[in-house]
Chain A
Amino acid sequence: MSEFVRRLATSSLTARVALGIALLLIIGGVFVSIAAFAYGREAARSAYDRLLLGAANDIASAVTVLDGRPTIELPVSAFELLALAPDDRIGYRIIGPEGATLTGYDEISLPDSRQSLSEGFFDGTFFDEPARYAVVSRRFAERTLNGTVRVIVGQTLNAREDMAYDITRKALYVLAATGLAMALLAAVVVRSVLRPLENIAGGLSARDPHDLTPLDTEVPKETEVMISALNGFMARLDRQMNSMRHLISDTAHQLRTPVAALRAQADLFSDEMDISRKERIVERIQTRSASLGRLLDQMLSQALVIHRGDSARRERVDLRDIVLDVFEEGDHAVLKPEMEVLIDIGESPVEVMADVPSLTEALKNLLSNALKYGRSPVRIGASLDGEKVAIWVEDSGPGPEDEVLTALGARFNQAKLSRQSSAGLGLAIAHSVAVSFGGRLLLEKKDGKRFRAALVFAAALEKKT
């Protein structure tokens, strides 16, 4: 059975539809046949029962009383009525008031349970053949005769069965015609349903391997799901490829200058004879390599953020946790021990659907920018403002020049990473994270005394309990 189910799952859609239609027709056919036969039997039964009753009444009305005895001249019309079932034998019996047979077949008897039946029908046999009988009674209240004469008229069942089979047969003809029409329609429908799929497959296989542009969405609704999923997948792939490309070119570009400088210093070092100058050069090499290390860290975290932005699963994150994590890691104490860092978080959770590592990276970068370029004290925090939540870093300096800020905004609006300074790279990472989770990076000056960099998101919906 499981083998069958497995094979069914991989069989063609046409085969499935054919199987479905076949099952429908077989089950329907059986039901219709049974129903038609039952209906046919019932129709034949009621039609021929009426004949029987008519004949019985005809005979009963021909009974007369002569010399105190019931007597009869059987009406030929009654038998002609019965002869409408041309191949059926006829049985009849007329029972007098004392229960004696006046005429007809003695063999015909009322069923044991209905000996007193005076009006109605019963099933029996006639010379070993199944037969149907009608009984009617006629009451006599004459001076010479008082009692009931019962007339039993019966007939074998050939005509009834012929009629029932005839009705069934006709119903089956209709069913067969319907089935054929259904099969043809199904074939047409299956072909037309599968055509879009074939078109899609054809379009995909004819594509250039590097072509990741969206597929044509002029397709039936049902396949649109598949197409949009496919397009979404391709867009992600495209974005990731672009990011990688940019990352690689940015990295190459940004590394070239510090590495060239390091080499130049190293060359200077080997040419320098003076010990004190040599020490200064070593100092410079150390500074340079430390900043190169930071640059590399940032690049890696940018790569991480770009990667996670597209691939990581969103979860409910409390921004206060991020703030606490970054603060407790204590990088700032190592980098700039002279700067004071304060935490500013509230009582209530500040939740957003996002990815913890991405947010942590973004906050770290903003914090390190603030430490590098801003003034003490630096405050980090998370806040909830109606529908909006924000995680931010604020220093007590005036912030960058206005034109620099505008230029930064313009660059982010082009949504592309380009050659940038270390500070720019940090902002770029923060911007990427903001965009990945449907938010934005907000840079604002406050009263010329403070500068705040914030990631603003839509608040996560209240958790349903």
Chain B
Amino acid sequence: MTGSSNFLRVLLACLLALGVAGQSSAQEMIKMYGPENANQTLILRSTTDISVFGPVVDDFVRTRPGVNLRYEQWGSNGLYQLTRKECREGQPGADIVISSGVHQMVQLVNDACARSYQSRLTERLPQALKWRDELFGITREPAVIVYNRDLVPAVDIPKTRFDLLDLLRPADTPYAGKVATYDIEQSGLGYLFAFADAQEASTFGALQESLGRSQAIATCCSADIIQGVAEGQYLIAYNVLGSYAQGFQQRDDRIGIVLPSDYTLVLSRALLIPKQAENPGLAAEFLDFLLSPGGTLALRTALLISPMLDSEEGNEGEVLNSTARRPIGLSPALMVALDALTRETFLRRWRTTFPGQ
């Protein structure tokens, strides 16, 4: 029971630290994997939904009888705050942290919160997917445009951001108030995508303006947005995480997915082993598992390494030109995204675009 009381304390501290952040900063869900009586417990904190990442964890635990794994699902901001706090105070917390807020992860590494690890498998990672041998990109997930297949006519399906701009331009556009995107103040991932967009192309300013003028909806959470598109509440959703969209599409074919062909951001969720991890060896084993062929296959099955990015397959005949892929590289340049003043400036501009939300 010490584990759970420890958890409560952490939760409390976390809540206190966050104050009035106005969002779910605590863990959202916990699930245990592996045998009850195992002698080693690996604590994994992640922003990925348990339902998506669970099968991958299952595959890992299956091969290690003496190990069980405690999976905590967190919001990216909450996870960042907690990890940073534990790092500053030198408290042991998670053994592994995986987050889609890669800018936050880069910041944690910069703040000397991570432990260095090198193996044959990490050596094989491309340079853009690791930093200092402390941060590793383990997934490949595109940011996509999702549309409602029944309500959006085939000619209107936006293939690029320019198509989307054209769609929103007429004063009497039927898409006014029907386009959704992340609320970047609430969603770390949404902020990251928006920030990357701003770095990537000058179209972002126009697009942001255009979204604002057409009273686009900024809301939270991939699942809500995709659900909204399927149900016709929204017609088009911009910058939705492809893995969730594709997972949803496999159950519900009311939505369609487009990889924007001008460029498609590709996110690699980042993994780090905290400095104070109590089971760093086991954590390293987990990392090696994720990078091994078996782990890669499990991630691919979970759509976390997106099949849509394989040029030979594509989605609905879509083939993404490999030059249009823009991976969000794990580099210290991402720290800019997290800088308080910069964020404030960026958000100020956002607020003027989406007033009253």
Contact = CB atoms under 8 A, between A and B. Distances in A.
A46 B112 CA distance: 26
Interface in B306-352: 331-333, 335-336, 339-342, 344-346
B341 A74 contact: yes
B110 interface: yes
B345 A73 contact: yes
B13 to A, nearest CB: 20
Given A86-B127, A103-B342, A129 B335 contact: no
A71 B344 contact: yes
Contact of A71 (B109, B335, B336, B341): B341
B149 interface: no
A71 B339 CA distance: 12
A74 B132 contact: no
B332 A72 contact: no
A127 B112 contact: yes
Nearest to B342: A74
A223 to B, nearest CB: 63
Majority secondary structure, A binding face: mixed
B341 A72 contact: yes
B111 interface: yes
Nearest to A90: B332
Size category of the A interface is 20 to 34
Contacts of B344: 71
A94 interface: yes
Contacts of B331: 79-80, 83, 86
Contacts of B110: 89-91
Interface residues of B, number: 21
A88 B133 CA distance: 11
Contacts of A86: 127, 131, 331
A102 interface: yes
A100 to B, nearest CB: 12
A80 B128 CA distance: 13
Contact of B112 (A75, A94, A128): A128
A64 B33 CA distance: 52
B199 interface: yes
A71 B332 contact: no
Interface string A85-112: 0111111001000000011100000000
B342 A127 contact: no
Interface string B87-113: 000000000000000000000011110
A76 interface: yes
A147 B253 CA distance: 60
Interface string B128-159: 00011100000000000000000000000000
Contact of B333 (A80, A104, A129): A80
A102 B199 contact: no
Contact of B335 (A72, A75, A90, A102): A90
Contacts of B133: 87
A275 B110 CA distance: 143
A82 B336 CA distance: 12
B112 A129 contact: yes
A271 B77 CA distance: 155
Interface of A: 71-76, 79-80, 82-83, 86-91, 94, 102-104, 126-129
Interface of B: 109-112, 127, 131-133, 199, 331-333, 335-336, 339-342, 344-346
User: Sorted from nearest, which 9 A-B pairs have the closest CB atoms?
Assistant: A127-B112, A103-B341, A79-B333, A74-B336, A74-B342, A73-B345, A89-B110, A90-B332, A83-B331
24 contacts: A71-B344, A72-B339, A72-B341, A73-B341, A73-B342, A73-B346, A74-B336, A74-B339, A74-B342, A75-B336, A76-B199, A76-B336, A79-B333, A80-B331, A82-B332, A86-B131, A86-B331, A87-B132, A89-B109, A89-B132, A90-B110, A91-B110, A103-B341, A127-B112
